[in-house]
Amino acid sequence: AVVIRFLDVVLAAMGLIAAAPLMGVIAVIGYFDTGAPLFRQVRVGRHQKPFVLYKFRTMRMEAPQVATHEADASLVTSWGRFLRRTKLDELPQLWNVLNGDMSLVGPRPCLPTQTELITERQRLGVFDARPGITGLAQLQGIDMSTPRLLAETDADMLQRLDTWTYFRYLILTLLGKGAGDRIRATKP
């Protein structure tokens, strides 16, 4: 755990420095797209402590604060679709990692309203770990619409997580594997 935290800090700091110019460009385009390029949302963190998660905004300002799989696809802007497809919307979470709220690899942080997922994660001890930007569930395309399967996959990942697996998940994510949380087709 100490080694992974050290890697988190070093890699997140390097990532923020390297991505700063790109993040500046994304923020400017995002400002013209939605008027507010940065999205902040309270999520459930380690030991169920709430924290504020940062992402680049991909939906219009009037979008409700719901889990991704419950969101209306028509609220995603064309710029937002690009950010989601390329996973660039996740870059601000490097600050969450540096700040200690998250890890680069871990279970995706859920909303406080996702009680079924919270119950399953409590039962399996998933909240003992920091939530992550990527992990086994995202690489396997398992999202928050299947709470029990997600919690079981998270618990399995955490039991097997070592330095090798940590780097493997990061590399697979950077190579574009996995879909993570997807917005479903537009609701009627």
Mean pLDDT by 10 residues, the chain (188 residues): 95 97 97 94 97 94 70 84 91 97 97 96 97 94 91 97 96 80 50
Query: What DSSP character marks residue 181?
Result: S
144-153: b or e for each residue (b if 16 or more CB lie within 10 Å)?
beebeebbbb
pLDDT in tens, 77-89: 999 999 988 889 9
Using alpha carbons, select from 8, 22, 60, 69 the residue that is nearest to residue 39: 60
Q: What is the pTM of this model?
A: 0.88
pLDDT in tens, 21-50: 999 999 999 999 999 999 999 999 999 999
Model pLDDT, residue 187:
44
Token pair of 2 as six digits: 């100490």
Q: What is residue 182's predicted lDDT score, i.e. its pLDDT?
A: 55
What pLDDT does 63 receive? Answer: 75
Query: What three-state secondary structure class fits 176?
Result: coil
In the beta sheet, which residues pair with residue 46? none
Helix (H) or strand (E) holding 132: strand 132-134
Q: Give residue 74's pLDDT.
A: 82
